[in-house]
Amino acid sequence: MRIDYETERAGGVYSERMLRKSQSIWQMPSTPESLKKEETEARLRGVDVTISPESMEYMEKVNERKEAAQKERERLQKEWEMQNPQNPFGRMGTQFSIISNALAEHGFYDNMSDDEVLEIENLLVDITHGMNSVCGTVKVLSPDSEQLTSQAAKFELESSTAALRQFSQKYVSGEMQDFFNNLVDQYYEHNSKVLEGYQSSRETSNELLAAIYEKTASNRRAPLSENEKMIQMAGKVKVDEEDEKEAIKEWRKCLKALADGKGEVGEMMGRMSDILKILASGNSENKQLLNYVEQWNSPAIENARKYWSVLV
Read off the pLDDT of residues 278-291 as tens digits, 9 standing for 90 and up: 999 999 999 999 99
Per-residue pLDDT averaged across 141-167, rounded? Answer: 87
Per-residue pLDDT averaged across 196-211, rounded? Answer: 92
Look at residues 247, 241, 233 and name the one whose alpha carbon lies nearest to residue 281: 233
CB 137 within 8 Å of CB 101: no
CB 179 within 8 Å of CB 88: no
Per-residue pLDDT averaged across 34-63, rounded? Answer: 64
pLDDT at 51 exceeding the cut of 80: no
For residue 238, give Cα distances in angstroms to 31, 135, 227, 233: 63, 23, 20, 10
CA 136: distance to chain centroid? 8
Helix (H, G, I), strand (E, B) or coil at 117: helix
More confident of the two residues 264 and 218: 264
143 falls in which pLDDT band (50, 70, 90)?
very low
pLDDT of residue 246: 98
pLDDT at 29 exceeding the cut of 60: no
Q: What is the mean pLDDT of the chain?
A: 85
The CB-based long-range contact list for 53-60 (8 Å cut-off, 24+ gap) reads: 56/32, 59/29, 59/30, 59/31, 59/32, 59/35, 60/31, 60/32
Q: Which of 37-41, 110-114, 308-312 has the lowest mean pLDDT?
A: 37-41
More confident of the two residues 33 and 187: 187
- Give the length of the chain: 312
Read off the pLDDT of residues 72-129 as tens digits, 9 standing for 90 and up: 555 555 554 555 556 788 766 789 999 999 999 999 999 999 999 999 999 999 999 9
Q: Which of 48-52, 213-217, 249-253, 280-284 has the lowest mean pLDDT?
A: 48-52
pLDDT at 267 exceeding the cut of 60: yes
CB 116 within 8 Å of CB 108: no
CB 36 within 8 Å of CB 50: no
For residue 49, give Cα distances in angstroms to 26, 37, 193: 20, 11, 61
50 falls in which pLDDT band (50, 70, 90)?
low
CB 196 within 8 Å of CB 148: no
